Amino acid sequence: MLIVMKADATERDIAEVERVITELGFRPHTMPGASRTAIGITGNEGPVDVTRFETLPGVAEAIRVTKPFKLVSLDLRPEKTVVRVGDAEIGGDELAIIAGPCAVEDREQIFAVAEAVRRSGARFFRGGAFKPRTSPYAFQGLGEEGLKLLAEVREATGLKIVTEAVDEASADLVEKYADVFQVGARNMQNFSLLKRAGRARIPVLLKRGLSAMLEEWLLAAEYVMAEGNYNVILCERGVRTFAQHTRNTLDLAAVPAVRRISHLPVVIDPSHGTGKNHMVTPLARAGVAVGADGLIIEVHNHPERARSDGAQSLNLEQYEQLVREVRAIHDVLAPAPVG
Ligand code: PEP
Ligand code: MN
């Protein structure tokens, strides 16, 4: 159920609808919009009695939601969500660029890459301190020490930190040190982690699972939002197919497909999406052309020595060139206002 308020509904009208929802034992999710406020209801297993709301002051209509998702959907918020991260944003007019190494390795590496990322004008720095590796013998990340280095990068450059949490313990640390809480592809259906992300005070970047359907991915976002965290960014990072020429198959059609259903911003990760250095820039261009709100790019000062994902990492020069190219494409699609 979704309660749509009239354009002239007052704060008191909204508070009264929220009170009734709570009294019924459900949870209200209030989404102010450009022309009206909508209030989503979660916690109900069966239908909610529409008549309970229709007569309340300020209510325009009570709509029964038949789709499996409520909070991620355009019914709740017809305009796009802009996720604010301090003074930076994802989903607004500017193309968001999230760049950095796959994993935090050491101080020298992280600062060399961060300096190039800052110079490029990007606002976000990525780097894993907790790495969900396929093999238990592969480099697992520096843990809290890595997060401390990331916090130093933020201090020195002003870049916002995007980093992955893999479980409850790392979630507490990520929330303490970072600006955006990344949920990795392998954890897209780790429901307890999704709920934990939903209780985080920072935005969540939710990667699409390796074999997740669009609906499953959006329902994973719904888990986060149902806990009260509405700042979710979706990330398409490629899915498993029979193709052997790439590490994953980057599903660019996911961008317009999500747009049809959801107000959440979508970013493209052509690094994991292709797994190959020479394919990252062409697919980054395509991601911007298809309308993505941003890109995640793996960059390393010495890709040949990277402790993880070196084959898909761009060197600093390649990264700088990529940023010039994708900005040019973005400007053609959405020219910056003159003056
Ligand atoms: C990563 O961003 O380094 C990562 C592990 O990504 P994914 O979860 O998409 O594999
Ligand atoms: Mn990686």
Q: Largest alpha-carbon pair distance within the chain?
A: 66
Report residues whose beta carbon is within 6 angstroms of any ligand 1 atom.
102, 128, 132, 184-186, 207, 237, 272
Contact (Cβ atoms closer than 8 angstroms) between residue 217 and residue 187: no
Tokens of 248: 């994953």
* Residue 236 DSSP code: E
State the amino acid at position 327 in one-letter form: R
* Residue 28 DSSP code: E
Q: What is the pLDDT of residues 209-224, one digit of tens each?
A: 999 999 999 999 999 9
> How far is Cα 113 from Cα 261, in angstroms, rounded to an integer?
36
Q: Look at residues 264, 283, 241, 329 and name the one whose alpha carbon lies nearest to residue 76.
A: 264
**What is the number of the ligand 1 atom nearest to the C-alpha of 132?**
5
Q: Which of 135, 204, 269 to mutate to test the pocket of ligand 1 (most atoms within 8 A of CB)?
A: 269
> How far is Cα 207 from Cα 57, in angstroms, rounded to an integer?
41
Residues with CB under 5 Å of ion ligand 2 are 102, 309
CA of residue 330 relative to chain centroid, distance: 19
In order along its 339 residues, the chain shows pLDDT tens digits of 899 999 999 999 999 999 999 999 999 999 999 899 999 999 988 888 888 899 999 999 999 888 888 999 999 999 999 999 999 999 999 999 999 999 999 999 999 999 999 999 999 999 999 999 999 999 999 999 999 999 999 999 999 999 999 999 999 999 999 999 999 999 999 999 999 999 999 999 999 999 999 999 999 999 999 999 999 999 999 999 999 999 999 999 999 999 999 999 999 999 999 999 999 999 999 999 999 999 999 999 999 999 999 999 999 999 999 999 999 999 999 766 665
Q: What is the pLDDT of residues 184-194, one digit of tens each?
A: 999 999 999 99
C-alpha torsion sign, points 209, 211, 217, 220: negative
* Residue 308 DSSP code: S
The pTM of this model reads 0.97
Contact (Cβ atoms closer than 8 angstroms) between residue 31 and residue 40: yes
Angle value at C-alpha 181, between 29 and 322, nearest 5 degrees: 115
Contact (Cβ atoms closer than 8 angstroms) between residue 236 and residue 268: yes
